DNA sequence: GTCTATATGCGGATAGAC
DNA sequence: GTCTATCCGCATATAGAC
């Protein structure tokens, strides 16, 4: 067989949840799309919520795993001063973009799905998700603090927030109807890394006034 | 009376939609929270979707309006070269932050609500929303292109995407339980403007390689 | 493991009295 | 304008035959 009932359910659920939200999609929608019986969901997963968890784990785990691996490699290869800002950001931003371009439709869906979770899922599921990501975020924040000894810690964390938001927005944009061609996707990634690296390396706020620099 | 039935419905709907999503919240939830009768929603607004539109218009219009006004002022006061990047970004990012700090709980809800719309609303509502915002975005993009003659147009648009995402993420973060103290909010805004201004002013991608700058 | 049939409840919307 | 009562459809979940 091409794929098992369980996998077909996961595929359909991932696609439909991502495109249209968690609550808008019924088990009937999913089972119809997957070409399986309605009762199969409860047989294989137990409930709609348990199905959502299974979808999440399958989709998200590989990206975070890859980010950790890449940072490990960077740190083992770098010298006393640790990896450079650009390299760190490349390791952080690369995997989601790679997932996007390599996995075709499935890759970009990952980010829509994150958005759906963030706005709709119950706290328990959000926590499961957040805990995984926080581990990654902490590792990267520490690496960046080391690479930027002149920027204070709370400022590094704020900037990491900005980078995350910028990345999510770029992904959402690319997943619109029409989408992005492969070379546009590459440009987007490089632009983002550059934008983030320059922003991260900025001096702290007090150095320059934000006004009166016209002409 | 403290507020009319219509206003109480709008207040409750805004809060509940923002916190928990559009589809998760029923008219029964809203009318119970507002302390009004279930049938009042259909009497005053006609349908759940019409209620959502009313909530949106009330929440979003003032911010975009304010952004346009501020840019008008900047441009009338600036000379031949037009406003500086920092000033433009200040005008773009200021109003949402002001709404946030001034309106108390209501201000921050605005951004959660945007997120809900983006992931859950039907295309018609998204389009209404987007059309308003696109006008603002176009005005600001043109101003930035003028201020950055050495950065090409598609790159300016990409960076505007990043700024939007960073802003949204900052807002979402601040709206978490615990939230941000007023002075932390100010720091967040200044950090974001600085981060964005520096990122915007970066040279185009080809100038520096992104690798091999370690040690 | 997979199906049909059904239990049970919540959803939006409305009719019609007051 | 506001209320109660109700229509009707769709949701999740499960029972039980095959």
The pLDDT tens digits of the residues spanning A127-149 come to 878 888 999 999 999 999 999 99
> Can you tell me the mean pLDDT for B186-213?
78
**Residue A2 pLDDT grade (very low, low, confident, very high; cuts 50, 70, 90):** low
pLDDT at A51: 95
* A26-43: pLDDT as tens digits: 999 999 999 999 999 999
Contact in structure between A126 and A53 (CB atoms under 8 Å) = no
* B69-102: pLDDT as tens digits: 999 999 999 988 899 999 999 999 999 888 877 7
Answer whether A86 touches B (CB < 8 Å).
yes
Report how far residue A209's alpha carbon sits from residue A212's, in angstroms, rounded to the nearest whole number: 8
What's the mean pLDDT when you consider all of chain A?
A: 87
The encoded tokens of residue B205 equal 């991608």
For A52, residues 6+ apart whose C-beta sits below 8 A from its C-beta are A13, A17, A22, A121, A125
HSE-up (13 A, CA, CB side) for residue A211: 4
Asked if pLDDT for residue A179 goes beyond 80, the answer is no
**Residue A177 pLDDT grade (very low, low, confident, very high; cuts 50, 70, 90):** low
> Can you tell me the mean pLDDT for B136-140?
97
DSSP string across A15-81: HHHHHH-TTT--HHHHHHHHTS-THHHHHHTSSHHHHHHHHHHHHHHHHHHHHHHHHHHHHHHS-TT
Q: Which of A78, A155, A215 sits opposite B81 (nearest CB)?
A: A215
How many angstroms separate the CA of residue A118 from the nearest CA in chain B? 9
Report how far residue B45's alpha carbon sits from residue B67's, in angstroms, rounded to the nearest whole number: 29
**Residue B155 pLDDT grade (very low, low, confident, very high; cuts 50, 70, 90):** very high
In the block, tokens 């795993």 appear at A65
pLDDT at B117: 83
Report how far residue A110's alpha carbon sits from residue A107's, in angstroms, rounded to the nearest whole number: 6
pLDDT at A104: 66
**Residue B107 pLDDT grade (very low, low, confident, very high; cuts 50, 70, 90):** low
pTM of the shown model:
0.87
Answer whether A116 touches B (CB < 8 Å).
yes
Report how far residue A211's alpha carbon sits from residue A209's, in angstroms, rounded to the nearest whole number: 6
Asked if pLDDT for residue A203 goes beyond 50, the answer is yes
pLDDT at A90: 97
**Residue B210 pLDDT grade (very low, low, confident, very high; cuts 50, 70, 90):** very low
Asked if pLDDT for residue B130 goes beyond 50, the answer is yes
pLDDT at B211: 43
How many angstroms separate the CA of residue A14 from the nearest CA in chain B? 15
**DSSP 8-state code for residue B176:** S
End-to-end, the C-alpha distance of chain A in Å comes to 69
Answer whether A134 touches B (CB < 8 Å).
no
Asked if pLDDT for residue A207 goes beyond 80, the answer is no
Least confident of A16-25, B65-74, B203-212: B203-212
Report the residue of A26, A77, A160, A165 to disrupt the B interface, i.e. the one with the largest count of B CBs within 10 Å. Answer: A165
Number of helices (H) and strands (E) in chain A: give both, helices first: 9, 0
Least confident of A87-91, B27-31, B183-187: B183-187
Strand D reaches within 7 A of the B26 CB: no
* A57-98: pLDDT as tens digits: 888 888 999 999 999 999 999 988 899 999 999 999 999 888
Least confident of A94-98, A165-169, A176-180, B51-55: A176-180
């Amino acid at each position: 067989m091409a794929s098992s009932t369980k996998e077909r359910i996961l595929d359909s659920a991932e696609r439909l949840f991502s495109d249209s939200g968690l609550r808008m999609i019924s088990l009937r929608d999913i089972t119809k799309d997957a070409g399986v019986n309605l009762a199969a969901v409860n047989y294989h997963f137990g409930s709609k919520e348990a199905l959502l968890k299974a979808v999440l784990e399958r989709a998200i785990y590989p990206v975070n795993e890859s980010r950790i691996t890449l940072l490990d490699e960077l740190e083992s290869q770098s010298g006393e001063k640790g990896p450079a800002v650009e390299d760190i950001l490349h390791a952080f931003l690369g995997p989601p973009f790679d997932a996007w371009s390599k996995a075709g439709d499935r890759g970009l869906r990952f980010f829509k799905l994150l958005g759906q979770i963030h706005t709709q899922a119950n706290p328990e599921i959000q926590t499961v998700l957040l805990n995984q990501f926080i581990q990654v975020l902490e590792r990267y924040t520490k690496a960046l603090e080391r690479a930027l000894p002149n920027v204070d810690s709370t400022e590094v964390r704020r900037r990491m927030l900005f980078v995350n938001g910028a990345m999510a927005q770029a992904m959402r944009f690319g997943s619109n109807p029409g989408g992005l061609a492969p070379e546009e996707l590459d440009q987007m990634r490089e632009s983002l890394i550059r934008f983030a690296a320059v922003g991260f390396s900025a001096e702290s706020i007090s150095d320059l006034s934000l006004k009166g620099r016209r002409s």
